[in-house]
Structure 1
Amino acid sequence: MLRVLAVDDEAPALGELLYLLRADPRVRSAEGAGDATEALRRIGRALEAGPDGDEGVDVVFLDIHMPGLGGLDLARLLGGFARPPLIVFVTAHEGFAVQAFDLEAVDYVLKPVRRERLAEAVRRAHDLVHAQAHAATVHPAPAPAEQIPVELGGVTRFVSVDDIAYVEAHGDYARLHTDHGSHLVRIPLSTLEERWAARGFVRIHRSHLVALARIDELRLDGGATTVRVGHAELAVSRRHARQLRDLLLRRAGG
């Protein structure tokens, strides 16, 4: 069943669309967003929750003309995701169909929305999601790098986990350090430790999580252990030092 996000800046149109979507038996959940920025935040939270979480988004039913970021712009942004949701445009304007299908939209539904026409768009999206899930089971692909949404000057951008060298705890927040700067996100360090263990991140201190492959040097000085990650020198707590040394030796030995 589909997890759906509907995006429209007109509240009556959004309410009607959500009513029709929730009445379709192929729709597991349908949530609404009043603009593209809110939609990006919701999809970002879905990425944090993981692809199989209840907050996940399989399909976005998207208006085209909205204040600020338009529907076509949002669709282009979503197309850059490792696992982009499917797009169905729902609009009063006929003139954007070519651009919509250039963006590989599943369907293009004109307003006022008819129940039967919307049901056909839902069917197409449902069949595609089912086919993709079946293909992934038969021929599983390597897991793509997770994308973390971050806010920069009021704009939501996405940072790949593969670009993160280490993470620093800030209470309920964490600061992600990359080669090009740092970003504060509202995710506890303990959550990232559990989620990214399979990607080679290790806890070296109550305040730091480090990508094992990004450690350039391990230093022992008078009983104190530190690691160098790029230009940063980070302390390793005693309780983590032995495990870290074992991991680094194992990695060096192939």
Structure 2
Amino acid sequence: MTALRVLVVDDERPALDELTFLLERHPDVASVVAVDSATEGLRLLQDTTIDAVFLDIQMPGLTGVELAQVLSRFRNPPPIVFVTAHEQHAVDAFELRAVDYVLKPVREERLAEAVRRVVEGVAQPAASGDEQIPVERGGVTRFINRSDITHVEAQGDYARLHTPHDSYLLRTPLTVLEEQWGPAGFVRVHRSLLVALAHISEVRMESGRCTVRVGEGIELVVSRRHTPALRELLNRGRP
């Protein structure tokens, strides 16, 4: 694909200059436009073709999250990478479907990963209904594809997301995920468990007890209460 034309928005001049410098060094970036306010960034985006926006969150006046909300209403919104010193805004990034969430101070290799995600997203748009979910581990926030999640396990007010090769803690209750992800094929099979129908490889019924197999041979128990609804869904065909 053609190298990216990138907009950087940050009200702190040292951070703006550093991010601009690092992006200009990247081989997939053709040019960088830097502005120090979200208002100026919005004005520029209305008149200029931009391939991706690297956006600070906490800024005076219009914040980065508010700018991203405006951009989400564009006919063809540019991909957004949030670059911030604050971890607590990852949920906002999740809701706005940001491509990545990079914590300051920015490391060049971490920024390169964000650019790679932008390039992949532009070249191969995410499958319809798929989303990227921000997860945190060891002070680092990364994004995983929802389509890779095999099942979700309740842990108090949190949820643990399981993929075939790893698991991640998300600061969202299971009941909220059930409501949001139901249309994407996640169904309740137990009071503390959601399963992605697309990842079910086997269903077993033995002595009235139902289990499903997902991922790398993981067997999950389906409660008696949820067994009829699950079997009906599977008999109708997966979404």
TM (norm. structure 1) is: 0.55
Amino acid at match of 1:219: R
Shift of 1:74: 3.9
- 1:19 is displaced (CA, Å) by 8.8
Instruction: Identify the residue that residue 242 of structure 1 maps to in structure 2.
Output: 228
Equivalent residue for 1:227? 212
Paired with 2:228 and 2:41, the residues of 1 have a C-alpha distance of 54
User: Partner residue of 2:163?
Assistant: 178
For the pair 1:80 / 2:117, whether they are aligned, the reply is yes
State whether residues 82 and 146 of structure 1, in contact with CA within 8 Å, keep that contact through their aligned partners in structure 2: no
Distance 1:187 1:82 in 2: 29
The residue matched to 2:130 in structure 1 has which SS?
A: coil
Query: Cα–Cα, structure 1 residues 78 and 206, in superposed 2: closer, same or farther, change >3 Å?
Result: farther
1:50-107 deviation per Cα after TM superposition (whole angstroms, max 9, x unaligned): 45xxxx89xxxxxxxx9731689648616615998xxxxxxxxxxxxxxxxxxxxxxx
Question: What is the aligned partner in structure 1 of residue 196 from structure 2?
Answer: 211
Contact 2:133 2:146 in 1 (8 A): yes
CA shift, 1:36, in A, is 3.5
Gaps of at least 5 residues in structure 1 are 58-65, 85-140
- 2:106 matches 1:69: yes
Q: 1:99-156 CA deviation, whole Å, 9 max, x = no partner?
A: xxxxxxxxxxxxxxxxxxxxxxxxxxxxxxxxxxxxxxxxxx9636211111222221
| Aligned with 1:45 (options 91, 95, 98) | 91
Number of equivalences: 181
Aligned twin of 1:197? 182
Partner Cα distance (2:38, 2:10) in 1: 13
CA separation of 1:214 and 1:23: change in aligned 2, threshold 3 A: closer
- Structure 1 residues 48 and 82 mapped into 2: Cα distance closer, same or farther (>3 Å)? farther
Question: Structure 2 counterpart of 1:236, which letter?
Answer: V
Query: Which amino acid in structure 2 is aligned with residue 7 of structure 1?
Result: D
List gaps (5 residues or longer) in structure 2: 1-7, 17-34, 47-60, 66-81
TM-score, normalized by length of structure 2? 0.58
Q: Distance in 2 between matches of 1:41 and 1:83?
A: 26
Offset of residue 177 of structure 1 = 0.6
Change (3 A) 1:67 1:46: closer
Q: What is the CA deviation profile of residues 148-183 of structure 1, one whole-angstrom value per residue up to 9, with x for unaligned ones?
A: 111222221111001110000011100011111111
Contact kept, 8 Å, 2:153 with 2:192, in 1: the verdict is yes
Q: Name the residue aligned to 2:83.
A: 36
| 2:28 paired with 1:7 | no
